[in-house]
């Protein structure tokens, strides 16, 4: 039973990444090592964020059970570095737009999965007692995959010169919401008191809306077809 539970968690967490890689066309372009490079850029970006937080935003003492809005706001603001990192990664890769943001988003999400969830899933899901939190962690990793690809797409859209002017405020708003999503989640947990499953559902709903809007704006660009290499 323990091995079955562990196998389910691993399959739920990792198999969707393999499916996206195979079905998105990345495998046809032999983009594996480019995804690895994007993952390396993610690690470097997180190191820069940690140094920046430790240097300029020291941890403040918060009352137990309360939400430190100022601290969480500052932490979320530093996530803008992720957007800069994604932009730099995509600027280094030659190819059409879809290939660029898929490589960046896939590499970013996979690196986050390995760094933040590999050990908890490996150690925790192999425990004697069944715990739904590891299933939730696996589902959350799938949501993160869609989130990172959507954010990479938005960063790519922002850099486009042929993006409609009416779409620019939408892109900036969605990027802002993406940066401050952890803060929004904390507020929902404290103010509304969402349970773990409802919180996961809220994340999925939010990410799906952002992804659909981003996809619609991507498809609205006239030169987004096979000849687009920008």
Helix (H) or strand (E) holding 216: helix 196-219
Would you state the pLDDT for residue 58?
Answer: 65
Whole-angstrom distance, CA of residue 61 vs CA of residue 193: 23
| pLDDT beyond 70 at 129 | no
Beta strands per DSSP E along 38-185: none
Nearest 5°: the CA angle 22, 216, 85 is 65
The answer to whether 208 and 142 are in contact (CB under 8 A) is: no
How do the domains of the chain map onto residue ranges? 3-222
**30-84 confidence digits (pLDDT tens):** 888 999 999 999 999 999 999 988 887 766 665 555 667 777 788 888 989 999 9
The answer to whether 48 and 81 are in contact (CB under 8 A) is: yes
Would you state the pLDDT for residue 124?
Answer: 62
Would you state the pLDDT for residue 12?
Answer: 81
Burial 170-185 (b: 16+ CB within 10 A, else e): bbeebbeebbbbebeb
Distance between terminal CA atoms of the chain? 50
**85-126 confidence digits (pLDDT tens):** 999 999 988 777 788 999 999 999 999 999 988 777 776 656
Would you state the pLDDT for residue 138?
Answer: 87
Secondary structure tally for the chain: helices H, strands E: 9, 0
| Stronger pLDDT, 212 or 125, i.e. the higher one | 212
How high is the mean pLDDT of the chain?
A: 83
């Amino acid at each position: 039973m323990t091995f079955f539970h562990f196998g389910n968690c691993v399959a739920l967490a990792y198999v969707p990444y393999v499916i996206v890689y195979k079905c998105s066309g990345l495998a046809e372009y032999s983009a594996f090592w480019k995804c690895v490079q994007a993952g390396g850029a993610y690690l470097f970006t997180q190191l820069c964020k940690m140094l920046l937080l430790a240097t300029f935003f020291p941890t403040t003492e918060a009352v137990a059970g309360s939400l430190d809005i100022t601290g969480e706001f500052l932490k979320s603001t530093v996530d803008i570095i992720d957007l800069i990192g994604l932009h730099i990664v995509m600027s280094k890769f030659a190819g059409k737009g879809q290939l660029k943001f898929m490589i960046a988003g896939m590499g970013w999400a996979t690196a986050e999965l390995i760094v933040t969830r590999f050990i908890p899933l490996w150690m925790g899901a192999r425990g004697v007692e069944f715990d739904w939190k590891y299933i939730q962690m696996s589902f959350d990793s799938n949501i993160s995959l869609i989130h990172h690809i959507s954010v990479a797409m938005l960063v790519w859209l922002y850099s486009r010169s042929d993006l409609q002017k009416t779409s620019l405020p939408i892109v900036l708003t969605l990027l802002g919401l993406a940066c401050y999503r952890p803060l929004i989640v904390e507020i929902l947990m404290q103010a509304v008191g969402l349970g773990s499953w409802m919180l996961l559902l809220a994340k999925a709903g939010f990410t799906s809306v952002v992804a659909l809007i981003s996809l619609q704006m991507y498809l609205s660009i006239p030169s987004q077809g096979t000849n687009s290499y920008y």
